[in-house]
Amino acid sequence: MTGALSSLSAMRWAAIGVAVVIAAIFPLVYTDPYYMTIIVTAEIVLILNISWNFILGMAGVWNFGQLAIYALGAYGSGWLMLHQTWLPLWLAILAGGVCSAIVSVLLAFPTLRLFGIYTSLLTFSFAQVVQYVAVNDPRGLTGGSFGYPTVPPLFSTLDQEAYLRNYYWTCGAVALAACFAVAWLRQSHLGISLRSLRDAPAYAAARGVNPRVTRVVAFGLSGFLAGIAGALYLSFEQSFTTSQMGLTPMSIDVTMLVIGGLGTVTGPLVGTAVVTAIQTVLIDYPGWQLTILGAVLLVIVVFIPGGVIGLLARWNSRISAWVAEDTG
């Protein structure tokens, strides 16, 4: 099963390395702007999903406010980019992440007292409030439903291909780093604490895991990543509308997470890829997109609860057992 970096065999590392190299070379070879845009957007969504998977899947917290946090990252960094022009753009993006992290941590506190479903309502309400305020835009901070005003892009170039390439690498790098970070965290003290809190809270408490600190830290980390994703989105798409926070994107993201496998490290990767593919193929039939996604979501959750990754893991262990039987 995907897990500790140190326990990954040499073969796995080699495979990852090859994949990374291929991914890195990819934009040099393939330049169709339409699909590249889709891919970069998918990378950004992937970062968001990784962050959400961390808090929802690994920590098991019913946090449905992640999209609002994501949006706040966009707004935060956008404000800095427009009004604090002395700040290097990449720093503004990081700052967007920090801003999101702070809000996320604040959101964590009231959830400490709530159990399961109530947390979902609290975080959801929070997201709705943020969305409403953003749409109504009392102080011209968010651009309302028209979207955020244009910000200076990370890479100012008139060459569309170069623009796409650079963003591809940047976002891809962030996504990759996030993946590794989550994999490492999963095996770290924090990750183990989170998972034990999720699966067996009484046991965890008996072992001295501090649920409060752990949860707040989890919120902070996932918020940071979500904020970065939001900032990157704003920077790349040159706009950010409030519909990005709505129920539809939320449904789609949840579907991505579940298809890939909630709580796994590579789940978001698989899920994002699969759903993006479906969406791209069905681009002309928006109604069908969601119908199929809804159906797929249902089928997966009912029959393949671990998502694709879970399924692969089971096959993997079955194959290993079978091999062991033969050779043992």
Site residues for another protein per CB under 8 A: 60, 62, 110, 113-118, 120-122, 124-126, 128-129, 132-133, 136, 198-199, 247, 251, 254-255, 258, 287-288, 290-291, 293-295, 297-298, 301-303, 305
Give the residue from 248, 227, 230 showing the smallest Cα distance to 239: 230
Q: Which two tokens stand for residue 42?
A: 């998918």
CB 222 to another protein: min, Å: 17
Please identify, using beta-carbon distances, which residue of 122 and 228 lies nearer to another protein.
Answer: 122
Please identify, using beta-carbon distances, which residue of 152 and 294 lies nearer to another protein.
Answer: 294
227 neighbors 99 (Cβ within 8 angstroms): yes
Q: Which two tokens stand for residue 312?
A: 């692969």
Please identify, using beta-carbon distances, which residue of 34 and 115 lies nearer to another protein.
Answer: 115
**Residues in contact with 32: Cβ distance below 8 Å, sequence separation at least 6, in sequence order:** none
Q: CA-CA distance, 41 to 59, in Å (whole number)?
A: 26
Q: CA-CA distance, 129 to 100, in Å (whole number)?
A: 16
| Residue 95 φ then ψ, to 5° | -65, -35
CB 224 to another protein: min, Å: 23
Q: CA-CA distance, 46 to 25, in Å (whole number)?
A: 19
CB 116 to another protein: min, Å: 6
CB 294 to another protein: min, Å: 4
Q: CA-CA distance, 220 to 104, in Å (whole number)?
A: 6
Please identify, using beta-carbon distances, which residue of 98 and 195 lies nearer to another protein.
Answer: 195
Please identify, using beta-carbon distances, which residue of 10 and 202 lies nearer to another protein.
Answer: 202
CB 58 to another protein: min, Å: 13
